[in-house]
Amino acid sequence: SGRSCGPSPSDKSAPISLPVAKPPMRRSRMGRWRAGVLIGIHVLIAIHIAHWWTTGETLSPIEPSESMAFSKQGVINAGLIFFVLAIGSTLLLGRWFCGWGCHIVAIQDLSRWLLLRVGIRPKPIRSRLLLVVPLLAALYMFLSPLTYQLLADNLFDHVKDEMHTSAFWRTFPSLIPAILTYVVAGFVAIYVLGAKGFCSTGCPYAGFFGPADQLAPIRIRVTDACNQCGHCTAACTSNVRVHEEVHKFGSVVDPGCMKCLDCVDVCPNDALYVGIGAPAMLTRSRVEGIVKPRATRHGAARAQAGNGAWAALSLFIFACFIVFAGFDRHFTTFPLLEWANIAVMTGLAILLAWMFAGRSERKQDLSLAEDVVFAGLFLIAMLIFRGLYDLVAFLFAMGLAAVIAYVWLHVWLMLRRENLTFHHWRLKRGGSIQRAGWAFLAANAVFGVFALHSAAVQFYSIRAMGLRGAIDARYAADPADPELPNLVDRGLRSAEFVENWSLARFVDSKAGMFWLPETVRKHRLNSQWLTRWHGLRGETDVVEKRLRNQIALDPNWADGRVSLGLTLATEGKLDEARDVLHDGLKHAPDHALLRQNLGVVLAETGDVLGAIEQFRAAIKLDATMNAARVALGRALLVTGQPDEAITVLQEAVDADAEDLDARVFLGQAQVVVGSCDAARDTLTEALRVAGNPPDLASAVEQILANCR
């Protein structure tokens, strides 16, 4: 009829009160754009790898972890340039790279999407202490090597560039560790730690991107059209309470915001936008008391935790750096320089954590005491699993340790809380353990046995590594050191425990699982230590048997072939040594040490021209191999090429002024060409460097006799 069904404006009766329905949440179109961009990045990665496969050489990996080459050796590569540009752009645009350019984020977003499809909504965890782990990892990986060299006054002399490489995969993990890393950083971390769980607890790049984001003037901001509907927070995959932050600060100030822009896209009032203004660390609250923590039985403890939180954080930071550096030092005695570096890193981390703490107020799920337990379990898990079976690299260990620590924390909480859930699983209610709780405890008991076993294997493996260094140092100083037999016995016991009880397959292993993939069943270093120590005890038959068995299991083990070749050569089996080393070139043609030792054996069997060819190839592969250069000079001298021998040996002396063999053979070559004055200078310097020992003085006198 055209008449209005509602009251007219002139109706004086009381208005009818109807509930106001919130508009339905819009789907984020931005998520589809981001998915397309991330897929495109993986396509570019595939093209990069394909270029290397087809040409044999390509641009060095565009991966932030490659920046460690600069920290350790002063090498500028594509990864370093990319990382610097990413951090620089973050200072302007905010933390955009994590949301739009990271392949790990792509895996995490895919994992979250799949979990949501089966009805599982990951719940984020919030920890005061583990939130700083990405910063600690960043300092440890990228800054600690530099500060250590500065403290030792041994910083690299010059900077060099390696923008291209033929060994593209050298710094990347093999297939099995890569798959495990993606599974843990993806599905497992997302389910246990929540969306972007690996980013917030294990990613070292976040340690730089988070602080840089706090300085960025471009942020997600809000207009007066916002009505606090909460759609933005529901759409956020970075665990940011967007509606609370924009209400209180007028912009998103949480350093965890990855600028995915889903919140902007789903806002029904178009109240959110990307704009320029004060950076997060200079943004003041517009109102007070907007975010109030709920009253819970742990509320009082949380209120009191502020006094001890920084003390706990400082201790945790110090402990983390000890654990990180301890692995590199095989948990042997730290030199004073290492303690100084740990102190510098700890102080710097505390300063940065204080400066870039952020303005956001995140509700805490744990009391301070529970957070301390969580952090302690994280360190224990790092000690147990980092480097285990040569499969768990540092970044993989970070994510894995956070996941395991959070699961173990709930085992401890079952003893303390009357009611407890693990995500949607109810473990305990009214003090009574539920069926899911018993299943949870049983699963952790089984995993606990594996963890204890892994801890024992890890302990003896690290102990063997530490003893290896001590044994090599003592043997180099004095082969007749009376303490050497005791150290060798301890090393053998440790390495044999690892070999006999490891779940990875070793030669003669009693407990090895033969069903594990071939890449897991190889453990070259352990066999190398065992053969080295059996060799020091004179048990050459044991050494030969072990090396042959391990090479049969792992034909590509070039270092093992070198060891077997040297063992056979020492026993006088030169033909067998030559065959072993020559066969190794079929599997590892680019192994410089293999070629050098093959050259030595060829020279001993009379094939000096073949030896010269191998020495040249070894030097071409590794220009730092001075022993190969000296051997080449000696071989050239034997074949009547003294002029070229002088050139090569002079290069060896210039590379290592302490190399006595290089100086002696150089002097001998100079005598052959009649340069007696130069020979006297060279050999006199050799005597001075060596401390004028009688046997060397006699040899020098015989060489110079040809000049009289």
Distance of CA 138 to the CA centre of its chain: 10
**Cα–Cα distance measured from residue 274 to residue 279, given in angstroms and rounded to the nearest whole number:** 13
The secondary element (H helix, E strand) that includes residue 421 is strand 420-422
pLDDT (mean) for 203-217: 92
| pLDDT number for residue 360 | 66
Confidence at residue 448, expressed as pLDDT on a 0 to 100 scale = 95
Task: Write down the pLDDT at residue 322.
Answer: 95
**What pLDDT, on the 0 to 100 scale, is given for residue 505?**
53
Contacts of 561 (CB under 8 A, 6+ apart): 551, 580, 581, 583, 584, 588, 594
Top pLDDT among 151 and 293 is at 151
Cα(612)–Cα(574) distance, integer angstroms: 17
Question: For residue 266, how far is the Cα from the chain centroid?
Answer: 37
* Residue 574 one-letter amino acid: L
Question: Mapping DSSP to helix (H, G, I), strand (E, B) and coil, where does residue 591 land?
Answer: coil
Q: Flag whether pLDDT at 44 surpasses 50.
A: yes
Q: Rounded to whole angstroms, how far apart are CA atoms 523 and 387?
A: 12
316 pLDDT higher than 90:
yes
Q: 521: Cβ–Cβ under 8 A, 6 or more apart, which residues?
A: 504, 505, 512, 514, 553
Q: State residue 686's pLDDT score.
A: 85
Q: Is the pLDDT of residue 552 over 90?
A: no
Q: Is the dihedral of CA 401, 406, 411, 412 positive or negative?
A: positive
Task: Report residue 227 as tokens.
Answer: 């009505």
Extract long-range pairs of 660-667: CB within 8 Å, 24+ residues apart.
660/686, 660/689, 660/690, 660/696, 661/630, 662/626, 662/629, 662/630, 662/633, 663/689, 664/696, 664/699, 664/700, 664/703, 665/630, 665/633, 665/634, 665/637, 666/633, 667/700, 667/703, 667/704
**Distance in angstroms (rounded) separating the CA atoms of residues 642 and 494:** 50
CA dihedral for 198, 200, 201, 204, sign (positive or negative) = positive
Q: Which amino acid is at 35?
A: A
Q: Please report, for the chain, how many H helices and E strands are present, in that order.
A: 32, 9
150 neighbors 388 (Cβ within 8 angstroms)? no
Residues counted in the chain: 708
Helix (H, G, I), strand (E, B) or coil at 414: coil
Measured in whole angstroms, how far is the alpha carbon of residue 33 from the centre of its chain?
31
Span 604-634, pLDDT tens digits: 999 999 999 999 999 988 888 889 999 999 9
> How far is residue 228 from each of residues 26, 263, 266, measured CA to CA in Å?
15, 12, 13
Pairing outcome for strands 58-59 and 164-165: antiparallel
Read off the pLDDT band of 509 (50, 70, 90). Answer: very low
Of all helices (H) and strands (E), which one includes residue 653?
helix 642-655
Residue 288 — very low, low, confident or very high, per pLDDT cuts 50/70/90?
A: low
Tokens (6 digits) for 500 = 């006999």
- Work out the average pLDDT over 411-428: 90
CA 295 – CA 525 distance, rounded (Å): 56
Q: Is the pTM of this model over 0.95?
A: no
Tens of pLDDT along 89-136?
999 999 999 889 888 888 888 888 888 888 888 888 878 888 899 999
Q: DSSP assignment, residue 280?
A: G
DSSP letter, residue 241: -
pLDDT at 589 over 50: yes
Instruction: Give the mean pLDDT of the chain.
Output: 84
